[in-house]
Amino acid sequence: MALPNLSDADRKKALEKAAAARHERAILRDQIKSGEVTVAEVIASQNPVAERMKVTTLLESLPGYGKAKAAKIMVELEISESRRIRGLGKRQREQLLERFGQ
């Protein structure tokens, strides 16, 4: 699929939108890391930023978890490394809540 030719104004608008999304995602990651937001709250959230977050990013945001532990958990729970929160199945959600739920 060919990329559309964007005008300078459209390109600038898209870059600003992407930067805003990264900023919101960083804020959410900080809230998870500090304990303000729980895994259960992220999974149940209707927030588009939370829904689009990859599960590995969520796990890596938890205190004491890095890439290795997150990858191990993803394998144990049979969750694809490219899976996003919105795309989790019922069983996968239940397993994550069982493991990290409050």
Q: Which CATH number fits domain 39-102: 1.10.8.50, 1.20.120.920, 2.40.50.220, 1.25.40.10?
A: 1.10.8.50
Quote the pLDDT of residue 48.
92
Q: How far apart are alpha carbons 10 and 89 in whole angstroms?
A: 36
Confidence of residue 102 (pLDDT cuts 50, 70, 90): low
Q: Which amino acid is at 28?
A: L
Q: How far apart are alpha carbons 38 and 48 in whole angstroms?
A: 16
pLDDT, one tens digit per residue, over 13-72 is 999 999 999 999 999 999 999 999 999 999 998 999 999 999 999 999 999 999 999 999
Question: Which residue would you say has higher pLDDT here, 46 or 101?
Answer: 46
Determine the average pLDDT of the residues in 85-101: 91
pTM: 0.83
Return the domain boundaries, the chain: 39-102
Assigned token pair, 29: 């990651």
The 3-state secondary structure of 39-96, one letter per residue: HHHHHHCCCHHHHHCEHHHHHHHCCCCCHHHHHHHHHHCCCCCCCEHHHCCHHHHHHH
Confidence of residue 1 (pLDDT cuts 50, 70, 90): low
